[in-house]
């Protein structure tokens, strides 16, 4: 499959702006460095030509931005949806979080995004990055230009990509892919196979690093509550900064439960975590359990689908049986 | 801050025997908000209640904690006490220190310690209690009865006689249902038509009853006391107000070869038809699938002969919207299809019939004018075999039969067998049965008469195979008592087919948000104590839609449902349970999670305008709970991701406070 | 020795219509179970938010048990079916984090099952006592 | 369209015609039947007992062989089809049994009932299609009143065999219509001819067989067709006075290739 | 082997539960070999259920069942009597020297049209 290029996106964005289809464009713009790309709204051709970027670091999921942007805007907003973003897009529509009529969605094929951390682990002192068909050419302070294969720096979530199929769009750039039978649950399974003590040790090691910056929540496309329970004094679990380690602990469990059945497994939580905690492994555990107990379900695969936790059958497994199921598998 | 009074009950020695009540009262006095604490021998006694009332007045209490027996016992009592003292009744909490403390623990220190903790939890909760007022909603004083069989007819008559208007919606062109098709009724053998048709006439002439025949319910909105129902009146191409039911059109119609549903397809009717002579309303209906005028625009004979000018080929389906306070479901039953039981050769021989077909064969208004003749050749049958439990009590094959007992078959088969022997003494009649079930007044006596006086051969065993050969039906069966296999060359075989709920019931249940069991029978609010009410408030059940029933049972349930409806319609206003869910619109995401889990359809969504801090306005989709429909289970509160949904009386912060108090 | 001293703290959420009545029946029949069990009444098991359970653990509970009507018997027709899914998922997650699975339980107790209620509580308390104090949830975040 | 083909012992011997007509007709219909190498006799009856492993291995081997080629497995003989289909079902649904079989066979790959099993009639109905068959008929058997005799093996147990409604089957009647003849429906078409009992109690087999033939005749049949060599044997042996033939023979005749087969 | 163990073994082997029987007699009503049997299908079910298996082991009835599955198909409760009969039969013929038929017996039964199917079926039913 041909990679989508910046030029293609700009051409499309300018075309839709100038013919009046949309009045704004949700896109990416360069940050301080070539790899810290931030989402931005463009309203003129000029802004786009100057600021719009698209490269291997444009992993940010835009769906969530539509909740706020569509409310404020007159006319339509253009959004580019990678396959994983399109699932979040549908999920938000299922939850009536924005008006579909106010969005013009362009699906874009995706060959996987790069992981900044992986890149930094390989290369020190990044000055700038150039892209080529066969890899990245990184200009560095110390080692001159270093060539890096895409495969070496591909993000975990892209290696275990669940789908290259755009499930929502008004128009598609490039070719559509297929849903992939990915190995994304392997890591969860290997954790499940551990003894409780080993699992405890693993999670203690991971979660003790949390600095409670809320980045996971802020990036999560399922976390679009008008008022987050962690910010709500009436909820009983309000806490902005860590008071006790224990309250802290609850944060990730509650958050994972809150998005259970709604999480599309886009991987944004892990991507944005400054402490590199594999938060997606919590969400995937719920997804894996729900798939195994209640039948395959992919949040966002279709608009209006009924998530497992707001559904039931009379013959569901008992909570105790869910454990036993794990034992039989092991 | 609340001013809370704590009242610890001794319950004689029931509590005081294992719990140091004074210590409890003492300890709870130190809890935040508590301004008064005392103990007494019997709090529920008049003296105890007066003590509470006095304390409320004296100490200006705003909340009450009673440490006593289970709230299931005396919560209502102490709420009344609070009301008598001028407090909101929902400012009372009970700490259950009897059933869940003194009675299950033996040692005083342990019991006392736990009682104090339970008391603290109750205090913590009351601190967060708010006065609650039950909502009120008006009642539309009109009832809807869905289904016009004997169940619907009886319910409608009883409600109408009490003075409330009733509408009956019936899918067929006439009311009457299955009972109209029956010949005689067990165990008295009175003629079904003789007892049913006067009731049908009563319905037709009752000034409080309207009949929507050839109609169905297509939409139900609203809630108890306030249902909005859409009824589709299917086009019958005859103006009901003009048709006199004279039948001239029926005679003249050239399209005469259409299976007659009323006679179970055993004879034919014309394309324009009146189902039977006593039909109500006695109005003709055109079968659009059979009429050449409607299909090809050629014919028009009925219009030409109709003196009243009632024929209207251009008639369209009509939709009627009406408001009701209560809905009674009386959708009835049907025999199951015999397709999957072809070991009995139902599809192969016209002389293998179902019991309902047998009813028509013996009915004077039936296809043979009541003479028992074989459908294949019109000959008089001599050997007749009845097979019981065809498709009933069938556990291995869900797609074939039904696991339950159909209840009515034993008795109607005894009736068929007896009547056959009575009218045709030259016949040999066999009944194959698994068990004969006759629990009813005069039922077993009736069955025994069939055997002892009428000489019906009851054989314990089942028919395994029926082989039509030439003009006989070779019946192969077991006789378990004599341990033999029997081979009978029968002339006619009658299958007692299992009965199942009418197919229209399932979609109707969805519209009504009324629950059903796996067999598609409507579930009752309580199987013992509320058998004629659906769990959905304002929806009542009458007849076989709730489970297999015979006529007397159906009629008594119909009356019971009617009395429940009357009880509801008598009220001018309904007061609800104030412990219902409510949504904080500022926090609601509009995601529909709550709506999806609500078993009562109590939650709806509206677009609402909000003023934002920056003075702009924003339209958001938000949930709102109808307090008249909500029953207060709280399922929505957990489904809600933002915590916008909360349950009054069991609010998130109240339960958390209890948790904290217990875990402190 | 310490085991002898140790008394676990157990929070039991009981639905008003079946399990709370079952607990009352246990009382009526004088069926003993440890006082470590403290019952919180909720209208339906589906009212129990996972946050309540986590809160109980957070505040020092050693075990949390949730009792509701038997599946199919819910007073509100379907509440316990949702409970079953929610708790199955929550408990599986706690297990995944290495929290002992015996600390959490869902049990269906009808209003007629006083004996079952008492037996369940006895068993649950025994299991939790054997585990000892609930430290893991607290320790999960502190790597020592 | 290519299938693995399991002829069975009788088709190699006393029922060669059943086999030959089946193969040639399939060829004419564009279906390739590839005989499984080294197939072994199915054993004639399926032993329902769950602890019987050895008697089911020949079926499992045939199923595995077909599966390894990615082909469905077709058989004509009712007995072979019944045994293979029931074995396959047991391998699919009874894990304990399947484990036992797989351990016993100790081969590189396990088998869990993945292969699709067809009776020749099912292949005609579901793969070729009766409409397509009708078009290929050059010699419609007009005017013949034919009674389809299913016997017990083709249909039962209904939930396992899944060929048709076990009490009111139509697959053979529809076949008869497709080749231009008139089917005669009679109740005993799914009753047992006596089967292997003919060996020990010929009188019982006679009673059963006569019940079938008499019923077919009484309902107006002038010919009976079957897929089972033992049924055919029992009916003829016990004095059927109307012809009893294999359905494949009529198929070949209708397709106009009967002579060709006999050459 | 005691009565109870034999019952359990047979029930396990057959994979069906005789307790499900509601004693309707449809199996015996449908059985084509009924008249040849000393114990009829419904009796098999009842006798296996009550552990009264010894008489069955010694009965000719074991070899009269045609395995035509009519009772299996038509049983309203999923008891599947033929499977129980088969399980008892196996208990009988698995005993040492209990084969009902030997190859030497065959020629007496065979005529020129006898299909192989008849021989293999009979052998499967009569021998271990």
CATH fold group of domain B333-500? FAD/NAD(P)-binding domain (3.50.50)
pLDDT attached to residue A327: 54
Q: Is C3 an interface residue toward A (CB < 8 Å)?
A: no
**C-beta neighbour count of B650 within 10 angstroms:** 23
CA distance B534 to B525: 5
**C-beta neighbour count of C101 within 10 angstroms:** 20
- Chain C residues with CB-CB distance to A314 below 8 A: 71-72, 81
Which chains does chain E touch, 3 or more C-beta pairs < 8 A? B, D
CA distance D22 to D30: 12
The reply to whether D103 and D224 lie within a common domain is: no
Which of the residues B528, B650, B659, B664 would you substitute to probe the C interface, choosing the one with the greatest number of C C-beta atoms within 10 Å?
Answer: B659
Could you list the residue range(s) of the whole structural domain that residue E55 is in?
3-95
Q: Which of C71, C90, C92 sits opposite A314 (nearest CB)?
A: C71
pLDDT tens string C56-65: 998 889 999 9
C-alpha distances in angstroms, C48 versus A13, B650, D245? 48, 10, 71
D2-6/D72-75 β-pairing: parallel
CA distance C41 to C38: 10
Q: Write the DSSP symbol of residue B105.
A: -
Q: Nearest CA to CA, how far is B431 from chain E (Å)?
A: 13
- Chain B residues with CB-CB distance to A66 below 8 A: none
Q: Which of B339, B340, B467 sits opposite D187 (nearest CB)?
A: B467
* B578 and A214 Cβ atoms separated by less than 8 Å: no
In this structure, is residue A180 part of a structural domain?
no
Query: Could you tell me which residues come within 8 angstroms of residue A296 by beta carbon, excluding any fewer than 6 positions away?
Result: none
pLDDT tens string A163-216: 999 999 999 998 888 898 888 999 999 999 999 999 999 998 888 888 888 899
CA distance E29 to B24: 74
The reply to whether A313 and A190 lie within a common domain is: yes
In this prediction, residue C144 has a pLDDT band, given cuts at 50, 70 and 90, of very low
Contact E29 B397 (CB under 8 A): no
The answer on pLDDT for D257 being more than 70 is: yes
The reply to whether A163 and A48 lie within a common domain is: yes
The answer on pLDDT for C143 being more than 80 is: no
The reply to whether A109 and A137 lie within a common domain is: no
Q: Nearest CA to CA, how far is B484 from chain E (Å)?
A: 8
CA distance B452 to B461: 19
pLDDT attached to residue B628: 82
CA distance B9 to B38: 9
Contact B342 D168 (CB under 8 A): yes
The residue-averaged pLDDT of D179-184 equals: 96
Domain boundary among D78, D95, D119: D119
Surface of B (116-175) touching E: CB under 8 A: none
Q: Percent helix, strand and coil across chain A, each rounded to 5?
A: 40, 15, 45
Q: Nearest CA to CA, how far is B642 from chain A (Å)?
A: 6
Q: Nearest CA to CA, how far is D189 from chain B (Å)?
A: 10
Domain boundary among D119, D146, D170: D119
> CATH 3.30.70.3270: which residues of chain B?
581-648
Do E and C have ≥3 inter-chain CB pairs under 8 A?
Answer: no
**C-beta neighbour count of B607 within 10 angstroms:** 10
Q: Number of structural domains, chain A?
A: 3
Do D and C have ≥3 inter-chain CB pairs under 8 A?
Answer: no
pLDDT tens string D19-56: 999 999 999 999 999 999 989 999 999 999 988 898 99
Contact B468 D187 (CB under 8 A): yes
**β-bridge mates for residue B574, sequence order:** B137
Q: Is B125 an interface residue toward C (CB < 8 Å)?
A: no
Query: Could you tell me which residues come within 8 angstroms of residue D195 by beta carbon, excluding any fewer than 6 positions away?
Result: D45, D152, D205, D230, D234, E66, E67, E68, E121
- Chain C residues with CB-CB distance to A245 below 8 A: 138, 141-142
Could you list the residue range(s) of the whole structural domain that residue D75 is in?
2-119
Q: Number of structural domains, chain E?
A: 1
Which of the residues B395, B463, B464 would you substitute to probe the E interface, choosing the one with the greatest number of E C-beta atoms within 10 Å?
Answer: B464
pLDDT tens string B331-368: 999 999 999 999 999 999 999 999 999 999 999 999 99
- Chain D residues with CB-CB distance to E32 below 8 A: 191-192, 194, 208
The reply to whether A108 and A221 lie within a common domain is: no
CA distance B463 to B449: 23
- Phi, psi (deg, nearest 5) at residue A214: 70, 10
* D36 and D8 Cβ atoms separated by less than 8 Å: no
pLDDT attached to residue A199: 93
Please give the residue that has the higher pLDDT: either A57 or C142: A57
pLDDT tens string B193-223: 999 999 999 999 999 999 999 999 999 988 8
pLDDT attached to residue A328: 45
Contact B342 D167 (CB under 8 A): yes
Q: Which of E29, E40, E78 sits opposite B462 (nearest CB)?
A: E29
> Per-domain residue ranges for chain C?
2-139
Residue of E nearest to B341 (CA): E74
Coil, strand or helix: which one is C118?
A: helix
The reply to whether D108 and D85 lie within a common domain is: yes
Q: Is A96 an interface residue toward B (CB < 8 Å)?
A: yes
In this structure, is residue A179 part of a structural domain?
no
Residue of B nearest to D220 (CA): B470
The reply to whether D19 and D64 lie within a common domain is: yes
Surface of B (582-611) touching A: CB under 8 A: 586-593, 596-597, 605
The residue-averaged pLDDT of A2-13 equals: 87
**β-bridge mates for residue D74, sequence order:** D5, D118
pLDDT tens string E35-80: 999 999 999 999 999 999 999 999 999 999 999 999 999 999 999 9
B645-649, C2-6, C28-32, E23-27: least confident range? C2-6
Q: Which of D168, D185, D218 sits opposite B469 (nearest CB)?
A: D218
Q: Write the DSSP symbol of residue B102.
A: I
- Chain B residues with CB-CB distance to A234 below 8 A: 643, 652-653
The answer on pLDDT for C134 being more than 90 is: no
Residue whose structure tokens are 């670091």: A57
In this structure, is residue D162 part of a structural domain?
yes
For chains A and B, CB pairs below 8 A equal 60
Domain B235-316 has CATH 3.30.70: yes
The reply to whether A61 and A131 lie within a common domain is: no
pLDDT attached to residue A2: 63
Residue of B nearest to C10 (CA): B663
A273-287, B301-315, B517-531: least confident range? B517-531
Contact D219 B469 (CB under 8 A): yes
Domain boundary among D52, D84, D119: D119
The reply to whether A252 and A315 lie within a common domain is: yes
Q: Is B218 an interface residue toward C (CB < 8 Å)?
A: no
Q: Is A145 an interface residue toward C (CB < 8 Å)?
A: no
**C-beta neighbour count of B296 within 10 angstroms:** 8
The reply to whether D140 and D71 lie within a common domain is: no
Q: Is B76 an interface residue toward C (CB < 8 Å)?
A: no
The reply to whether D138 and D175 lie within a common domain is: yes
Q: Is B343 an interface residue toward D (CB < 8 Å)?
A: yes
The CATH architecture assigned to C2-139 reads 3-Layer(aba) Sandwich (3.40)
Which of the residues B524, B638, B641, B647 would you substitute to probe the C interface, choosing the one with the greatest number of C C-beta atoms within 10 Å?
Answer: B638
Contact B639 A234 (CB under 8 A): no
The residue-averaged pLDDT of D137-165 equals: 95
pLDDT attached to residue C142: 56
Q: B4-128 in CATH: which number? A: 3.40.50
Q: Nearest CA to CA, how far is A322 from chain C (Å)?
A: 6
Contact C99 A286 (CB under 8 A): no
Ranges of H-type helices in chain A = 6-18, 45-51, 63-72, 83-94, 116-122, 150-153, 156-159, 186-192, 196-207, 215-219, 245-259, 268-272, 280-294, 319-329
The residue-averaged pLDDT of B571-575 equals: 90
The answer on pLDDT for C138 being more than 80 is: no
In this structure, is residue D180 part of a structural domain?
yes
Q: Nearest CA to CA, how far is C92 from chain A (Å)?
A: 7
Contact D47 E115 (CB under 8 A): no
Contact C20 B599 (CB under 8 A): no
The answer on pLDDT for C6 being more than 70 is: yes
Contact A197 C92 (CB under 8 A): no
Q: Is B648 an interface residue toward C (CB < 8 Å)?
A: no
In this prediction, residue A247 has a pLDDT band, given cuts at 50, 70 and 90, of low
Q: Nearest CA to CA, how far is C104 from chain B (Å)?
A: 16
pLDDT tens string B539-549: 999 999 999 99
Q: Is C15 an interface residue toward B (CB < 8 Å)?
A: no
Percent of chain D with pLDDT over 90: 92
Please give the residue that has the higher pLDDT: either A156 or A243: A156
Residue of E nearest to B402 (CA): E76
Could you list the residue range(s) of the whole structural domain that residue A192 is in?
186-329
The reply to whether A63 and A134 lie within a common domain is: no
- Chain C residues with CB-CB distance to B14 below 8 A: none
- Chain B residues with CB-CB distance to D191 below 8 A: 465
CA dihedral defined by A182, A186, A188, A191, rounded to 10 degrees? -170
In this structure, is residue A126 part of a structural domain?
yes
CATH fold group of domain B581-648? Alpha-Beta Plaits (3.30.70)
CATH code: domain of residue E86: 1.10.1060.10
pLDDT attached to residue A240: 65
SS (H, E, C) chain D: CEEEEECCCHHHCCCHHHHHHHHHHHHHCCCEEEECCCCCCCCCCCCCCCCCCHHHHHHHHHHHHHHHCCCEEEECCHHHHHHHHHHHHHHHHCHHHHHHHHHHHCCCCCCCCCCCEEEHHHHHHHHHHHHHHHHHCCCCCCCCEEEECCCCCCCCCHHHHCCCCCCCCCHHHHHHHHCCCEEECCHHHHCCCCHHHHCCCHHHHHHHHHHHHHHHHHCCCCEEEECCHHHHHHHHHCCCCCCEEEHHHHHHHHCCCHHHHHC
- Phi, psi (deg, nearest 5) at residue C77: 65, -45
Contact C82 A312 (CB under 8 A): yes
A112-116, B197-201, B437-441, C4-8: least confident range? C4-8
What average pLDDT does the structure give for chain E?
Answer: 91
pLDDT tens string B71-99: 988 999 999 999 999 999 999 999 999 99
Question: What's CA C50's distance to the chain center, in Å?
Answer: 12
pLDDT attached to residue A329: 44
pLDDT attached to residue C2: 45
Q: Nearest CA to CA, how far is B587 from chain A (Å)?
A: 5
ipTM of this complex prediction, to 2 decimal places: 0.69
């Amino acid at each position: 499959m041909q990679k989508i290029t910046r030029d293609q996106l700009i051409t499309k964005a300018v075309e839709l702006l100038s013919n009046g289809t949309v009045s704004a464009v949700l896109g990416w713009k360069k940050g301080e460095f070539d790899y810290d790309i931030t989402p931005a709204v463009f309203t003129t051709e000029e802004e786009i030509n100057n600021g719009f970027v698209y490269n291997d670091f444009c992993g940010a999921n835009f769906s969530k931005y539509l909740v706020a942007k569509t409310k404020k805007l007159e006319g339509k907003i253009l959004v580019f949806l990678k396959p994983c973003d399109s699932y979040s897009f549908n999920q938000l529509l299922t939850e009536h979080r924005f008006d579909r009529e106010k969005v013009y969605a362009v699906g874009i094929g995706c060959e996987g995004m790069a992981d900044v951390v992986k890149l930094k682990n390989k290369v020190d002192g990044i000055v700038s990055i150039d892209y080529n068909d066969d890899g990245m050419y990184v200009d560095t302070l110390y080692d001159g230009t270093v060539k890096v294969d895409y495969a070496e720096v591909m993000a975990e979530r892209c290696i275990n990509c669940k789908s290259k199929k755009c499930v929502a769009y008004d128009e598609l750039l490039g070719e559509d892919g297929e849903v992939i039978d990915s190995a994304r649950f392997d890591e969860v399974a290997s954790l499940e196979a551990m003894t409780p003590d080993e699992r405890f040790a693993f999670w203690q090691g991971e979660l003790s690093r949390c600095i409670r910056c809320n980045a996971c929540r802020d990036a999560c496309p399922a976390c679009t509550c008008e008022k987050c329970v962690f910010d709500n004094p009436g909820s009983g679990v309000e806490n902005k900064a860590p008071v006790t380690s224990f309250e802290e602990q609850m944060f990730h469990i509650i958050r994972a439960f809150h998005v259970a059945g709604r999480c599309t497994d886009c991987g944004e939580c892990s991507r944005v975590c400054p402490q590199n905690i594999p938060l997606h492994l919590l969400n995937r555990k719920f997804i894996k359990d729900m798939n195994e107990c209640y039948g395959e379900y992919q949040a966002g695969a279709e608009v209006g689908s009924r998530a497992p936790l707001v559904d039931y059958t009379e013959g569901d497994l008992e909570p105790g049986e869910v454990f036993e199921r794990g034992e039989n598998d092991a | 801050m609340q001013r809370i009074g704590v009242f610890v009950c001794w319950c004689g020695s029931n509590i005081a025997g294992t719990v140091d009540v004074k210590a409890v009262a003492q300890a709870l006095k130190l809890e935040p908000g508590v301004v008064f604490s005392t103990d007494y021998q019997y709090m529920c006694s008049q003296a105890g209640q007066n003590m509470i009332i006095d304390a409320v007045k004296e100490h200006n209490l705003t909340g009450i904690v009673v440490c006593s027996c289970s709230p299931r016992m005396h919560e209502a009592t102490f709420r009344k006490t609070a009301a008598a003292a001028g407090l909101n009744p929902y400012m009372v909490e009970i700490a259950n220190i009897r059933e869940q403390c003194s009675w299950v623990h033996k040692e005083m220190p342990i019991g006392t310690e736990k009682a104090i903790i339970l008391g603290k939890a109750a205090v913590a909760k009351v601190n967060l209690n708010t006065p609650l007022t039950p909502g009120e909603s008006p009642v539309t004083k009109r009832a809807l009865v869905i289904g016009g069989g004997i169940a619907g007819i009886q319910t409608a008559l009883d409600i109408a006689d009490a003075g409330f208007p009733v509408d009956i919606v019936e899918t067929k062109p006439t009311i009457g249902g299955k009972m109209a098709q029956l010949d005689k009724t067990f165990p008295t053998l009175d003629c079904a038509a003789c007892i049913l048709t006067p009731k049908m006439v009563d319905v037709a002439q009752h000034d409080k009853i309207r009949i929507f025949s050839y109609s169905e319910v297509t939409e139900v909105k609203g809630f108890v006391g306030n249902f909005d129902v859409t009824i589709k009146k299917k086009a019958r191409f005859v103006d009901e107000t003009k048709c006199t039911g004279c039948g001239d059109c029926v005679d003249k119609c050239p399209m005469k070869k259409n299976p007659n549903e009323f006679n179970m397809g055993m004879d034919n009717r014309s394309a324009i038809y009146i189902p039977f002579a006593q039909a109500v309303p006695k109005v003709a209906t055109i079968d659009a699938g059979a009429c050449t005028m409607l299909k090809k625009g050629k014919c028009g004979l009925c219009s030409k002969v109709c003196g009243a000018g009632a024929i209207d080929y251009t008639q369209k389906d009509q939709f009627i919207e009406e408001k009701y306070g209560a809905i009674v479901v009386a959708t009835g039953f049907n025999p199951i299809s015999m397709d999957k039981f072809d070991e009995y050769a139902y599809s192969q021989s016209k002389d293998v019939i179902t019991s309902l077909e047998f009813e028509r064969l013996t009915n004077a208004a039936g296809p043979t004018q009541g003479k028992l003749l074989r459908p294949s050749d019109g000959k008089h049958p001599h050997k007749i075999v009845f097979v019981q439990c065809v498709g009933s009590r069938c556990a291995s094959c869900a797609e074939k039969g039904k696991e339950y007992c159909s209840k009515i078959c034993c008795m109607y088969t005894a009736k068929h067998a007896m009547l056959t022997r009575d009218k045709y003494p030259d016949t040999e009649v066999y009944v194959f049965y698994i068990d004969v079930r006759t629990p009813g007044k005069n039922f077993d006596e009736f069955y025994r008469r069939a055997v002892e006086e009428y000489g019906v051969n009851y054989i314990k065993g089942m028919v395994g195979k029926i082989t039509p050969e030439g003009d006989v039906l070779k019946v192969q069966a077991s006789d378990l008592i004599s341990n033999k296999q029997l081979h009978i060359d029968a002339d006619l075989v009658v299958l007692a087919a299992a009965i199942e709920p009418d197919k229209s019931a399932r979609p109707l249940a969805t519209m009504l948000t009324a629950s059903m069991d796996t067999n598609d029978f409507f579930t009752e609010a309580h199987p013992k104590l509320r058998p004629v009410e659906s769990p959905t408030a304002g929806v009542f059940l009458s007849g076989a839609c709730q489970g297999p029933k015979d006529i007397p049972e159906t009629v008594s349930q119909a009356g019971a449902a009617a009395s429940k409806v009357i009880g509801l319609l008598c009220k001018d206003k309904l007061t609800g349970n104030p412990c219902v869910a409510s949504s904080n619109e500022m926090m609601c995401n509009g995601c529909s999670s709550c709506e999806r889990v609500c078993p009562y359809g109590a939650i709806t969504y509206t677009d609402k305008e909000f003023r934002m801090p920056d003075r702009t306005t924003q339209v958001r989709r938000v949930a709102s709970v109808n307090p008249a429909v909500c029953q207060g289970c709280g399922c929505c509160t957990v489904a809600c991701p933002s915590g916008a949904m909360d349950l009054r009386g069991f609010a998130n912060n109240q339960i958390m406070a209890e948790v904290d108090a217990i875990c402190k | 020795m310490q085991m002898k001293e140790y008394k676990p703290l157990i929070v039991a959420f009981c639905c008003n219509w079946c399990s709370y009545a079952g607990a009352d029946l246990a009382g009526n029949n004088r069926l003993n179970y440890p006082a470590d069990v403290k019952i919180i009444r909720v209208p339906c098991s589906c009212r129990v938010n996972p946050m309540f359970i986590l809160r109980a653990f957070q505040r020092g509970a050693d075990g949390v048990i949730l009792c509701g009507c038997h599946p199919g018997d819910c007073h509100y027709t379907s509440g316990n079916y949702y409970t079953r899914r929610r708790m199955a998922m929550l408990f599986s997650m706690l297990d995944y984090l290495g929290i002992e699975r015996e600390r959490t339980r869902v049990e269906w107790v009808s209003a007629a099952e006083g004996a079952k209620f008492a037996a369940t509580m006895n068993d649950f308390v025994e299991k939790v006592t054997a585990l000892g104090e609930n430290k893991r949830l607290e320790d999960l975040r502190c790597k020592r | 369209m290519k299938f693995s083909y399991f002829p069975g012992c009788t088709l190699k011997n006393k029922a060669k015609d059943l086999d030959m007509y089946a193969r040639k007709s399939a060829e004419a219909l564009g279906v390739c039947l590839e005989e499984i190498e080294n197939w072994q006799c199915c054993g004639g009856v399926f032993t329902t007992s769950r602890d019987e492993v050895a008697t089911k291995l020949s079926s499992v081997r045939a199923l595995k062989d077909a599966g390894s080629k990615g082909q469905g497995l077709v058989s004509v003989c009712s007995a072979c089809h019944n045994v293979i289909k029931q074995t396959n079902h047991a391998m699919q649904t009874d894990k304990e049994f399947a484990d036992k079989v797989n351990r016993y066979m100790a081969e590189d790959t396990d088998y869990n009932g993945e292969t699709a099993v067809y009776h020749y009639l099912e292949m005609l109905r579901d793969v070729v299609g009766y409409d397509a068959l009708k078009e290929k008929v050059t010699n419609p058997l007009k005017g013949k009143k034919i009674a389809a005799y299913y016997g017990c093996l083709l249909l039962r147990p209904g939930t396992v065999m899944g060929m048709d409604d076990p009490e009111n089957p139509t697959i053979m009647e529809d076949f008869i219509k497709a080749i231009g003849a008139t089917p005669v429906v009679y109740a005993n078409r799914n009753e047992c001819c006596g089967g292997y009992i003919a060996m020990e109690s010929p009188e019982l087999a006679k009673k059963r067989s006569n019940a079938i033939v008499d019923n077919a005749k009484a309902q107006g049949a002038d010919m009976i067709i079957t897929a089972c060599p033992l049924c055919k044997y029992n009916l003829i042996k016990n004095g059927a006075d109307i012809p009893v033939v294999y359905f494949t023979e009529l198929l070949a005749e209708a397709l106009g290739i009967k002579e060709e087969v006999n050459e | 082997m005691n009565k109870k163990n034999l019952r359990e073994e047979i029930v396990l082997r057959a994979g069906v539960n005789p307790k499900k029987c509601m004693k309707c007699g449809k199996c015996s009503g449908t059985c084509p070999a009924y008249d040849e049997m000393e114990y009829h299908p419904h009796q098999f079910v009842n006798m296996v259920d009550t552990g009264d298996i010894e008489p069955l082991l010694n009965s000719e009835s074991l070899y009269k069942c045609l395995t035509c599955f009519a009772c299996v198909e038509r049983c309203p409760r999923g008891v599947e009597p033929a499977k129980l009969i088969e399980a008892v039969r196996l208990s009988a013929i698995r005993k040492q020297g209990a084969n009902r038929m030997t190859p030497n017996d065959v020629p007496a039964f065979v005529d020129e049209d006898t299909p192989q199917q008849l021989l293999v079926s009979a052998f499967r039913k009569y021998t271990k």
